[in-house]
Structure 1
């Protein structure tokens, strides 16, 4: 990747550490091995996947609630580890979660944040057959949510109706990453079968497919704003960390292909479509590299690198509309440590205290361009853009209305409290598993018997 530095207004952008008392400390962050960022952010809150005995939990923390956070209230409705969360971009008090219990849940965040544990979601989707690793809201249509599961499918939900609308098929292995394009008409995926696919989601057609990174480790993909290009990160056959840039008009070969280094951690990419800056943060590294994309022969230009001795387990970015433009903050990352989440602001040094219009072009706002019904009917629209000249403007709290039936609270489920109870629960589940296997074998034998009878009738 080119280290030649051309003239750029982001040439001197720098990231800075945050003092520990201004971080979110003393968190029991999830130790699950699933490849996820562990943290997401919206203009009011951050969400963090937590370690929870006997179930799954995640915390939603207001930005101002910093310092040591012992025994904070959590969302704990999942019965297995939470793997991913995502905030609704058009309602700052709605969040979706995905977990190993094969369920997707949608939650309402009280004004000001949680004051007590919440175990009953607004909506539960349980149609996936295996654990759900990713959830991602649509960038322009209201109340449209995508979820990717280890059953090799992606489902699109209308959360306002509590209904599954579309199922995307065609993957032969675990889906490792999903990303919407600028207007949400296409969805790109990176898969364990080493292929990158681009779906027309409303027709369930793979419009482009190509061989991606050929290493045995994981891969990720992100859409590069409104450019019609994709960035993917992964590993070569010799375990070099790679970055590819693809033109979605033709995915036969990447238009840019670079080896970064030989470290072992997955590269987590984030592309800022407003500034054309690509951030690359390696899991287990302390560094965050960032590059500027230009549509020329060189493509990616190295800008700088944020360096830290503390390795990162995950990384999330704040939406552009919530940045501190008065201090020329062009990005803000949330870095996951072992027990802490640290905000890292990236700023461009400017002497003037006037609004720097060249640093902050219009950016997607908090108003959807489409309703869910319009999107699923085939309509497409770009995001509605807003100016950041007057700084962050919090949106009014929106009442979320859904016609989905309220989930019934689960009865008779109690987390074991000691070794004897865990032993009893294990034996109970083992017996239940054996009974289910016997029942399944009996039903399969009956099905074969009926198929034989049906074949005889046809003859």
Structure 2
């Protein structure tokens, strides 16, 4: 008599659940553009969502704590002249986000920690080099300021955002539309999928395809019979891959191991409403006190709904086996080091005490004409105070003006107080 042996795994009982209603984002006009990106990007500070916009392209940026109903007049990021197709947060600076558009440009934005009072229209840098729409963006995982873009012209460009210039242009490796691009762990290679039904592993510095046309898959997993787009998210710390069907209402997750059959089905999270897009939180943005191993931001018709994936544990202690050291926000290389052929593993951080996002760090741009258009990093001020080339006399003059204004305010406060006292006496005298 045979007995079925259940495979042992600490992730076998992972379960997904939505957050409470007051922790969702509501009244969001999610973009209706027919493109296969996730339309959403998140990091430990913000959630960014591509939205409908008349006369161009736009996306909104919300602090993670700013949940609930979104004001219909909330300021947007509106620099593009055509619909935005993809957005991606910089892994080394939580205030820097890149956007790609049908207007053939890529823009990089410095997002302030405060909520602006008006639309943001001036990016830190605009990257121009594609001849058709740009639909794919992904930052280098270990090198500072390197951004990859892929467009409808079948061209991949690697940019140095710090100088606003193209480092590498790969225009002869794909024969058709590029569907997706993903870096490997240390950023030495990246993989692409293409409409020509080929998957390519590319060494960008050698401008070569180092692997293509895999003859036999290691494992084959049939998902379903629908023709919707699958958005894959892979967590190297847990070796779990999450497959989110765009237009579907489920998230399927599998554990990848080095033992046959290599791909092990874990479970499926299902909800009532189909998802129009999906954002995936980096590991350092999770709540380790609740044994949260993944968090998704699911876009519905008018709503963004966070979904948490949790391993059930009774202990309140830090779970070392669930949270190995994970890539942190510090880059391991500079752009010129990587371009010269150097590779480095990500700089890891521990999540034992939870991750606290660092303060707003400016994107360093070395080209003078780009630097001139950089948005302010503090609260909105008058034009005179935005000038970084203050003289000593101008600074002292400003201090005197502030002192004078303070005295004026104090005088008005005293006058108002006296009038209130007289009014009170007059009222008492007439009763």
Residue 123 (structure 1) shift = 0.4
1:327 to 274, 278, 290: 290
- Tell which deviates more after alignment, 395-404 or 62-71: 395-404
Q: Deviations 1:233-273 (Å, cap 9, x if unpaired)?
A: xxxxxxxxxxxxxxxxxx33211112111022111111110
The 1:341/1:5 distance shift into structure 2, 3 A limit, reads: farther
Matched residues in 1 for 2:117 and 2:62: separation?
10
Aligned to 1:303: 266
Q: Deviations 1:328-382 (Å, cap 9, x if unpaired)?
A: 0111011111111110011111111100001111110111100111111111001
The 1:319/1:325 distance shift into structure 2, 3 A limit, reads: same
Aligned to 1:166: 168
SS of residue matched to 2:337: helix
Moved over 4 A (4+): none
The answer to whether the aligner puts 1:180 opposite 2:183 as a matched pair is yes
Residue correspondence of structure 1 range 194-233 to structure 2 within 5 A: 194-210=197-213
Matched residues in 2 for 1:382 and 1:408: separation?
34
Matched residues in 1 for 2:117 and 2:220: separation?
48
Aligned to 1:315: 278
- Contact 1:278/1:291 (8 A) holds in 2: yes
Matched residues in 2 for 1:401 and 1:113: separation?
22
Matched residues in 1 for 2:206 and 2:91: separation?
24
SS of residue matched to 1:259: coil
Matched residues in 2 for 1:407 and 1:99: separation?
22
Superposed CA RMSD: 1.5
Matched residues in 2 for 1:157 and 1:194: separation?
27
Matched residues in 2 for 1:28 and 1:5: separation?
45
The 1:407/1:5 distance shift into structure 2, 3 A limit, reads: farther
Matched residues in 1 for 2:308 and 2:192: separation?
29
Q: Deviations 1:36-95 (Å, cap 9, x if unpaired)?
A: 101011110011111111100011111011111122111100000000011111111111
Which protein has the larger Cα radius of gyration, Structure 1 or Structure 2?
2
1:270 to 233, 236, 241: 233
How many pairs are equivalent?
367
The answer for unaligned runs of 5 or more in structure 1 is 211-250, 410-459
The answer to whether the aligner puts 1:44 opposite 2:8 as a matched pair is no
Q: TM-score, normalised by structure 1?
A: 0.78
Residue correspondence of structure 1 range 401-412 to structure 2 within 5 A: 401-404=364-367, 405-406=369-370
Matched residues in 2 for 1:172 and 1:146: separation?
18
Aligned to 1:398: 361
Matched residues in 2 for 1:5 and 1:141: separation?
42
The answer for unaligned runs of 5 or more in structure 2 is 374-431
- Contact 1:103/1:126 (8 A) holds in 2: yes
Matched residues in 2 for 1:141 and 1:378: separation?
12
